[in-house]
């Protein structure tokens, strides 16, 4: 059996999928299998996959629109001791698996590891490294993760027995399922970090993560799930949980505010301050929301006119 199972979930990404597979197949670490789970694609994805023969294990599924379901199907078909996740529009550096497998082998207390990543827009222009957006942390990071996700998805390698122990991806979630899972995994032990960029991740306009409002709403739902799943950690990391909840509420409030939903925005900002009163950056937005929808939309139009 292979040591590492590479998990790729895809839907209508034929134009990018082959690049992702090539980056996995060209790894310097060879003791691995590649599993692609297709969520009922309607483009030429399956035709492209048929060219790989036995080199890639293909799962053709009925469309669900839920990445958590598709990834769990691939995990169920995997045989590796370690699971490495790769989105179908992302790319790995050739030495990624070798570096991370060695790190996990040398540190038995690590339940998973991840690395820095570079982000590209749809035109291939670099948007910068994850480490320039977020402070990347290692060790016992459960409390840090409860304040928000900073782990680039396609950089993760996790021990299979730990993932199975926390019951894989939660299929009730469609956008925050990775963060929800990383928190549960991190509650089981230390997390390793490779500070080098081992992955290039594309940020596509049509990607699920483009729907920020839904992402923030689901992140709040994930927090509620985690509260019942990890009661001890929620007591231990209560300040971090409150800061994390305030952050999500504030982000959702800003999104609602600039969509003209000032009533909802006021409520969300008030809840954010109730969760973490020191979130002072919320105060100006709360004040703006109190001025009403017409004022907010007028300010947004003025901003657009100035910048465009």
Q: Do β-strands 190-202 and 32-38 pair in parallel, antiparallel, or remain unpaired? A: unpaired
Give the residue among 185, 166, 11, 160 at the shortest CA–CA distance from 78.
160
Domains of the chain from N-terminus onward: 4-206 (3.90.550.10), 237-307 (no CATH)
Rounded-to-10 torsion of CA 290, 293, 296, 301: -170
Helix (H/G/I), strand (E/B), else coil: 67? helix
Q: Do β-strands 157-159 and 126-129 pair in parallel, antiparallel, or remain unpaired? A: unpaired
Contacts (Cβ under 8 Å, ≥6 apart) of 216: 248, 251, 252, 255
* Average pLDDT along the chain: 92
Q: Give the global pTM.
A: 0.91
| pLDDT tens digit sequence for 232-256 | 999 999 999 999 999 999 999 998 8
| pLDDT tens digit sequence for 119-154 | 998 778 888 999 999 999 999 999 999 999 999 999
DSSP 237: T
Residue 299 pLDDT grade (very low, low, confident, very high; cuts 50, 70, 90): low
Task: Give the span between the Cα atoms of 75 and 35, in whole angstroms.
Answer: 9
| pLDDT tens digit sequence for 43-71 | 999 999 999 999 999 999 999 999 999 99
- The packing angle between helices 282-290 and 262-275, to 10°, is 150
């Amino acid at each position: 059996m292979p040591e590492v199972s590479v998990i790729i979930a895809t839907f209508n990404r034929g134009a990018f999928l082959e690049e992702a597979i090539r980056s996995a197949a060209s790894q310097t670490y060879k003791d691995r299998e590649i599993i692609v789970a297709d969520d009922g694609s309607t483009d030429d994805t399956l035709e492209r996959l048929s060219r790989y023969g036995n080199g890639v294990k293909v799962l053709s599924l009925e469309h669900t629109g839920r990445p958590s379901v598709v990834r769990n199907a691939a995990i169920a078909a995997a045989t590796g001791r370690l699971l490495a996740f790769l989105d179908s529009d992302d790319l790995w550096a050739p030495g990624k698996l070798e570096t991370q497998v060695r790190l996990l082998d040398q540190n038995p207390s690590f339940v998973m590891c991840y690395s820095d990543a570079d982000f590209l827009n749809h035109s291939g222009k670099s948007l910068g490294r994850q480490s320039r957006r977020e402070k990347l942390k290692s060790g016992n990071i459960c409390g840090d993760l409860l304040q928000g996700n900073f782990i680039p998805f396609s950089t993760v390698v996790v021990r299979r027995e730990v993932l199975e122990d926390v019951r894989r991806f939660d299929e009730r979630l469609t956008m925050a399922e990775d963060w929800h899972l990383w928190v549960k995994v991190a509650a089981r032990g230390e997390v390793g970090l490779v500070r080098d960029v081992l992955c290039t991740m594309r940020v596509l306009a049509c990607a699920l993560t483009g729907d920020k409002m839904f992402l923030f709403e689901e992140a709040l739902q994930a927090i509620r799930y985690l509260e019942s799943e990890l009661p001890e950690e929620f007591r231990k990391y209560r300040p971090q949980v409150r800061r994390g909840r305030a952050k999500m509420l504030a982000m959702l409030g800003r999104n609602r505010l600039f969509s003209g939903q000032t009533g909802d925005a006021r409520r969300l900002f008030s809840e954010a301050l109730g969760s973490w009163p020191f979130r002072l950056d919320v105060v100006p937005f709360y004040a703006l929301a109190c001025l009403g929808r017409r004022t907010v939309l007028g300010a947004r139009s003025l901003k657009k006119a100035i910048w465009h």
